């Protein structure tokens, strides 16, 4: 069974555009779980452009399923995650000024950093995942770093899906097979949608979780949040 983790960053972005508490991020997380989401994902960036530090703590009280916190492993982020003790931490190589995650880790070049950070999280019984491009060398590096899972960065798949979906998924399939060989769990995320999710989930073996935010929240504007979550769930 592949879990659907709903990324609620965009709900926080909408709230912050006006100020106040509408839409309510905490209430949204409660509703997403009620409507069938298997978990909630957030990415508390240093500039608090969407999810704020207060949100991270407030959500801890209401997330009864999986709580996944994404971020670059700065000292402040590591301290925050250890204080919150989420189900999973997903490490991304984002610079502080980029709009959204746009690349995976170079797990070879950043081996020492990732290994030490992962060791700290695992010491606190927090499951770890590393955001990687679908390249065998990066999967091998992730294994050496000691992570529990990888998250395959799926923008290239989504971009090329309508041109040639078999070709688009090939490097992801190869990487997933190698990850399974290494005993790594497999997550995926970025630009997965109602149009491309079903094929991806069917083709990738041992896919444990997809994290979807932008497309899902956008679809919910037209289709309703409960209906949208159920539509995504049916594709997994």
**Annotated catalytic residue: which of 50, 66, 151, 190?**
190
Section 194-221 average pLDDT: 98
Average pLDDT for residues 103-130, to the nearest whole number? 96
Residue 229 scores a pLDDT above 50: yes
Q: Is 70 a catalytic residue?
A: yes
For 169-189, what is each residue's pLDDT tens digit?
Answer: 999 999 999 999 999 999 999
Model confidence at 219, in pLDDT bands (50, 70, 90)? Answer: very high
How far apart CA 148 and CA 88 sit, in angstroms, is: 10
Q: What are phi and psi of 121, to 5 degrees?
A: -65, -45
Split into its structural domains, the chain has a count of: 1
Q: Which domain holds residue 101?
A: 3-234
Q: What is the CATH number of the domain that holds 161?
A: 3.20.20.70
Longest dimension (CA), the chain: 48
How sure is the predictor about 99, in pLDDT bands with cuts at 50, 70 and 90? very low
- What is the C-alpha separation between 112 and 106, in angstroms, rounded? 11
Catalytic entry in 50, 66, 70, 151: 70
Considering the candidates 43, 50, 151, 209, report the single residue annotated as catalytic: 43
Average pLDDT score over the chain:
95
Which residue stretches of 85-154 are H helix? 111-123, 136-145
Annotated active-site residue 214? The verdict is: no
pTM value is 0.95
With a cut of 90, say whether residue 48 has pLDDT above it.
Answer: no
Average pLDDT of span 82-104: 80
């Amino acid at each position: 069974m592949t879990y659907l983790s709903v990324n609620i960053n965009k709900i926080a972005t909408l709230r912050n555009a006006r100020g106040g508490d509408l839409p309510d991020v905490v209430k949204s997380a409660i509703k997403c779980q009620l409507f069938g989401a298997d978990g909630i994902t957030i990415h508390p960036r240093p500039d608090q452009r969407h999810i704020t530090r207060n949100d991270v703590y407030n959500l801890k009280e209401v997330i009864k399923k999986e709580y996944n916190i994404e971020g670059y492993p700065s000292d402040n982020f590591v301290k925050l995650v250890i204080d919150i003790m989420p189900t999973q931490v997903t490490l991304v190589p984002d610079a502080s000024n980029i709009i959204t995650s746009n690349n995976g880790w170079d797990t070879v070049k950043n081996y020492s950093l990732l290994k030490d950070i992962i060791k700290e999280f695992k010491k606190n019984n927090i499951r770890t995942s590393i955001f990687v491009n679908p390249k065998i060398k990066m999967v091998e590096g992730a294994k050496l770093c000691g992570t529990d899972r990888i998250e395959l960065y799926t923008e290239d798949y989504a971009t090329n899906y309508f041109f040639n979906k078999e070709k688009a998924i090939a490097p992801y399939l190869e990487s997933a097979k190698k990850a399974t060989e290494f005993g790594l769990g497999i997550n995926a995320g970025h630009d997965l949608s109602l149009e491309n999710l079903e094929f991806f989930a069917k083709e990738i073996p041992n896919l444990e979780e997809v994290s979807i935010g932008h497309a899902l929240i956008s679809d919910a504007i037209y289709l309703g949040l409960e209906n949208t979550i159920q539509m995504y769930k049916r594709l997994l």
